[in-house]
């Protein structure tokens, strides 16, 4: 009787009354909430093994998994997919091994094998109410950079710039780069513009690339990125919390799970190979996770500037003053403007653009100027303080100059 619950005790007493003939099998089934067939099975089982027949043991039947197949699946999971999520592992088993198994079964087996721990439900977490997505594709693009060990030690950790459409949750562009910099974001914007056109707005965090914290005369000074977006007619929106741009934040977590494992299986080891891999991987990802927008209208607008103008806009701008001999200084180098404009460029302010591709463009009133590097002038070597001290100490101690130094004038004999 040890280990039996109330339900088992009630069933045992009813089955004993059926054996004595006090009640029929149909009456026993009605009182127990079972079918007559189940009552007959319980009578047969308890007649053989006694009350132990009422225990619930492991279930089998025609739908039970073949033990050989289960061992094969667990071997594959142990060898290749031990750190995969159950959903992704089930997808890879079907795509690469032609094994069709539900993700819940994979989840249960991975938990039983110790590959996945049962996560407790979070308590007391702050509630962030969701926002309705924009209705049109291209109306709002969420952008973010994710630093991670994307190649699992096969290459140095780097940053992945991700552009997510707010209406469809589709990845419109992604790019591996060394760091989250202004020029790298401009390179990603250039690729997005060439692929889809100009969106209405970009939605970012409050990184100094997008929003400066320096105050000038009581207002926020524009950053290089915000200046470029204003020139292109693209609005910049800065979120006050990561949850506000939750679509790109959740996409980063998905990419850190799925993209890393797919690159591992494809033997992708460098950021350059990763960027080439993304061109084929992103469409498959969007087919799996993207949704249709509420409005089928595409809000992207055409890029109305030519390639040279776009290159000048998407660059780092600095101003320089031109001297009277048409020269200016930039990055510890003197440059000379070709005197095609006569004296009109003297004492004027020009714009020096450092482009995405590392080129340098000089312009004045949106007109490109020709220039060349001036030859460097030779400057005399200035002795250091240490050399001067050594020379003075030598003079004091020996009462004579060094051989390499000029001799003192001869004193006239009195």
- Output the tens digit of pLDDT for each of the chain's 414 residues: 555 677 788 888 888 899 888 889 998 888 888 888 888 888 888 887 787 777 665 445 556 677 888 888 888 988 888 888 888 889 889 889 888 888 888 888 888 888 876 666 666 556 556 678 899 999 999 999 999 999 999 999 999 999 999 999 999 999 999 999 999 999 999 999 999 999 999 999 988 899 887 666 555 578 999 999 999 999 999 888 877 788 888 899 999 999 999 999 999 999 999 999 999 999 999 999 999 999 999 999 999 899 999 999 999 999 999 888 888 999 888 998 887 656 678 888 999 999 999 899 998 888 888 888 887 766 666 777 777 777 777 777 776 655 555 555 555 554
Say if CB 223 and CB 195 are below 8 A apart.
no
| Long-range residue pairs from 271-276, CB within 8 A, at least 24 positions apart, any chain | 271/150, 271/151, 271/155, 271/158, 271/176, 271/177, 271/178, 272/176, 274/150, 274/151, 274/176, 275/175, 275/176
Give the list of residues 6+ apart from residue 18 with CB closer than 8 angstroms, or none: 24, 25, 28, 39, 43
For residue 147, count other CB atoms closer than 10 A to its CB.
12
């Amino acid at each position: 009787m040890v280990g039996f619950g109330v339900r088992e005790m009630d069933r045992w007493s009813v089955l004993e009354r059926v054996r004595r003939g006090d009640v029929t099998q149909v009456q026993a089934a009605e009182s127990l909430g079972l079918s007559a067939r189940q009552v007959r099975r319980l009578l047969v089982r308890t007649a053989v093994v006694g009350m132990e027949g009422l225990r619930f043991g492991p279930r089998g039947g025609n739908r039970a998994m073949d033990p050989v197949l289960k061992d094969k699946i667990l071997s594959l999971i142990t060898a290749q997919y031990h750190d995969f999520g159950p959903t992704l592992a089930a997808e890879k088993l079907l795509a690469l091994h032609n094994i069709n198994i539900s993700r819940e079964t994979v989840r249960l087996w991975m938990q039983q094998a110790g590959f996945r721990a049962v996560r407790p439900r979070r308590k007391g977490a702050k509630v962030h109410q969701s926002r309705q997505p924009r209705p049109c594709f291209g109306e709002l693009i969420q952008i973010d950079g994710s630093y991670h060990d994307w190649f699992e030690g096969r290459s140095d950790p780097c940053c992945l710039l991700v552009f997510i459409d707010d209406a469809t949750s589709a990845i419109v562009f992604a790019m591996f780069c060394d760091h989250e910099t202004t020029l790298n974001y401009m390179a990603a914007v250039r690729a997005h513009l060439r692929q889809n056109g100009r969106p209405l707005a970009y939605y970012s965090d409050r990184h100094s690339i997008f929003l400066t914290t320096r105050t000038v005369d009581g207002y926020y000074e524009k950053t290089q990125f915000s200046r470029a977006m204003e020139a292109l007619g693209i609005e910049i929106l800065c979120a006050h919390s990561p949850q506000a741009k939750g679509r790109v934040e959740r996409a980063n977590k998905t990419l850190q799970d799925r993209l890393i494992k797919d690159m591992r299986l494809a033997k992708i080891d460098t950021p350059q190979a990763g960027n080439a891999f993304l061109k084929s991987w992103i469409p498959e990802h969007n087919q799996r996770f993207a949704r249709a927008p509420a409005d089928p209208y595409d809000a992207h607008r055409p890029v109305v500037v030519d390639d040279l103008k776009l290159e000048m806009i998407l660059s780092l701008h600095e101003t320089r003053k031109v001297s009277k001999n048409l020269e200016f200084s930039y990055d510890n180098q003197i440059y000379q403007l070709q005197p095609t404009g006569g004296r009109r460029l003297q004492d004027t302010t020009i714009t020096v653009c450092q482009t995405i591709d590392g080129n340098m463009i000089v312009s004045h009133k949106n007109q490109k100027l020709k220039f060349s590097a001036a030859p460097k002038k030779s400057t005399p070597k200035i002795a250091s303080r240490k050399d001067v001290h050594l020379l003075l100490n030598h003079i004091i101690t020996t009462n004579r100059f060094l051989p390499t130094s000029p001799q003192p004038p001869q004193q006239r004999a009195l």
